[in-house]
Amino acid sequence: MPSELDRRFDSVLAAVIGPGGRLVIERDSGGRAIVGNFPATLPGLFRAFCELYSDGRDALVASDERLAFPDLDRVSERLALALAGRGIAKGDRVGIAMRNCPSWVVAYMAILKAGGVATLLNGWWQSHELAHALKLVEPKLVIADEPRARRIEAVGGDYELLTLAVDQPLEMALAPLLEGSSPADTLPEIAPEDDATILFTSGSTGEAKGALSTHRAVTTGAYTYASGLMTLLGLLTEEGRAPETPPRTLLSVPLFHVTGEVPVMLNSFVVGRCMVVMPKWDAGEALKLIEKENITYFVGVPTMSLELMNHPDRHKFDVSSLKDITAGGAPRPVSHVERLKDEFPEAQPALGYGLTETNAVGCINFWGSYAAKPASTGRPAKPFVEVAILGAGDAHLPPGERGEIAIRSAANIKCYWRNPSATNSLFTGDGYVRTGDIGYLDEDNYLFIVDRKKDIIIRGGENISAAEVEAACYDCPDVAEVSVFGAPDERLGEVPMAIVVPKDSSGLDEARLRSFLEQRLAAFKVPARMIFSDEALPRLGTGKIDRVVLKAQYGR
């Protein structure tokens, strides 16, 4: 039986997408919902909404620098012409390897306006991880800040690398790009089905895959989130609680992640929301900024909201401006939901579920519905998202039955870059993305995730391939056997754990192995826990190491 909140939400949503509503819903050639009256390309999105919000409100705040939406549009237009003048043509991959900063946002806008494919490099990767991604996508240009440029220089490659001093004001930081060549006279026409972005996602085979999206897919992802916010605004208006000032959010998650890119950054353009930049996560600094900048909306992995609650200075700050605390990228423990309500009484918790391969769209659970079903990730985001539970032969299972979760929407990626076999495995015959997660839908169409089919560890929202970590361990000549899996962690959700059998008489210990791995893996991938054993690891009849037995024995 739908709750009263669900019925009200559906009623307001019907007005938002119905005759005379804000959004005109159409169907693409595959029958998937798209927005017909908003721009279908990212350059169109930026230009339209920067013009719409030309009332002087903040668009981006970074330390002492405050930029309005027209500022971002103007500078990105100039940078796009400069990129075109440097020879960036339609379809060229251009890498971004920077921490969160105004230069990142404007570089992204400009690459897309110039017709390039914005290639979002993980800023936490070490040199060899960057080398794999750069070899895969073959960018024409990589724009980096100084720390990441040093890592990229260490591996070399056939591309131009341009380093920015991102601590400077925006136009000074971009000067090497803006002044490095004669600008082009015009920019190319961009179509909805043109390639737009490549993000990287870990898989059970180890090396990161490049998830390629079209402009239509990415804009649909942004409009899916915007439609939800429009509906929630309608609910608040019905209750006489409509906000009196424009929304403001902390940009506290990395922009190279799909959460930072789509529901935070792009959605902020659509709804006229100011982004207050955090160069890196720090709970104490976040509390200061929430008070100073009157932040209304917070999104991050569950770890972040937990750290806000646990910070010793939490009660020294006025956080009453905060109205929504949303989490995504990892499960949020049910026990945290009640704590959030107690610690932030003015704010309401929410939880989202989506993948890089779906441009972050999927399900959302919010407000009283989340309190009622805190173990659920919520209902599919209507009318854009369809969720199916797959059984044998990809048959769609009825409510209550468990199977692999699959998502279908116009926001789904086009393919994995130059990886047709992985692409074929990703999609079902009827266009659903296989998530690798196991779950079920209840009678109210709420999704519950109960397990993961693919062997991925999600550490605070960051995907880690167990196979990749194991491979790095085996590179150590003193490791005879190893098994890596996710172990529960109260703060991060789960962390990688390694069960290691050293070679006889090697004297290998945790300090030596950890030092070895730190030279080969990004810090977040290095096992947080290591257990050394003198006995051979248990194996299945197939000869594979039995992770189930090891997790039952050690992973608690």
Task: Report the CATH number at residue 160.
Answer: 3.40.50.12780
Same domain for 11 and 91, yes or no, is yes
Same domain for 54 and 139, yes or no, is yes
Q: 205: domain range?
A: 1-385
Same domain for 371 and 472, yes or no, is no
Judge whether 488 lies within some domain: yes
Of 338, 364, 385, at which residue does a domain stop? 385
Quote the CA–CA distance of 484 and 517 in Å, as a whole number.
13
Quote the CA–CA distance of 513 and 515 in Å, as a whole number.
5
Same domain for 379 and 460, yes or no, is no
- Give the CA distances from residue 269 to residues 54, 75, 472, 497, in Å, rounded to whole numbers and listed in that order: 12, 15, 41, 40
Q: pTM, whole model, 2 decimals?
A: 0.87
Same domain for 524 and 380, yes or no, is no
Same domain for 470 and 365, yes or no, is no
- Give the pLDDT score at 345: 86
- Give the pLDDT score at 403: 93
* pLDDT tens digits, 88-109: 999 999 999 999 999 999 999 9
Judge whether 450 lies within some domain: no
* pLDDT tens digits, 307-336: 888 888 988 999 999 999 998 776 676 777
Same domain for 375 and 478, yes or no, is no
- Give the pLDDT score at 309: 85
Inter-residue contact 215 to 116 (CB < 8 Å): no
Give me the percent of the chain exceeding a pLDDT of 70: 97
Inter-residue contact 400 to 450 (CB < 8 Å): no
Quote the CA–CA distance of 389 and 428 in Å, as a whole number.
12
What would the mean pLDDT of 498-523 be, rounded to a whole number? 91
Quote the CA–CA distance of 117 and 91 in Å, as a whole number.
6
Same domain for 361 and 464, yes or no, is no
pLDDT category of residue 204 using cuts at 50, 70 and 90: very low
Same domain for 88 and 229, yes or no, is yes
Of 370, 385, 400, at which residue does a domain stop? 385
Judge whether 532 lies within some domain: yes
* pLDDT tens digits, 121-180: 999 898 889 999 999 999 999 999 999 999 999 998 999 999 999 999 999 999 999 987
What would the mean pLDDT of 496-523 be, rounded to a whole number? 91
Quote the CA–CA distance of 58 and 202 in Å, as a whole number.
35
* pLDDT tens digits, 22-40: 999 999 999 999 999 999 9
- Give the pLDDT score at 48: 98
Judge whether 496 lies within some domain: yes
Average pLDDT, the chain: 92
Judge whether 416 lies within some domain: no
Inter-residue contact 36 to 383 (CB < 8 Å): no
Helix (H) or strand (E) holding 325, with range, is: strand 324-327
Quote the CA–CA distance of 171 and 67 in Å, as a whole number.
11
* pLDDT tens digits, 238-277: 999 999 899 999 999 999 999 999 999 999 999 999 999 9
Same domain for 372 and 468, yes or no, is no
pLDDT category of residue 543 using cuts at 50, 70 and 90: low
Judge whether 438 lies within some domain: no
Question: Is 453 strand, coil or helix?
Answer: coil
- Give the pLDDT score at 348: 87
- Give the pLDDT score at 404: 94
Inter-residue contact 92 to 118 (CB < 8 Å): no
Which residues are bridge partners to 277 per DSSP?
A: 251
Of 325, 352, 385, at which residue does a domain stop? 385
Judge whether 412 lies within some domain: no
**Count of domains in the chain?**
2
- CA-nearest of 547, 552, 396, 543 to 482 is 547
Judge whether 338 lies within some domain: yes
Same domain for 478 and 372, yes or no, is no
CATH number of 539's domain: 3.30.300.30
Quote the CA–CA distance of 391 and 410 in Å, as a whole number.
23
Same domain for 380 and 475, yes or no, is no
| 1-15, 82-96, 302-316: the lowest-pLDDT one | 302-316
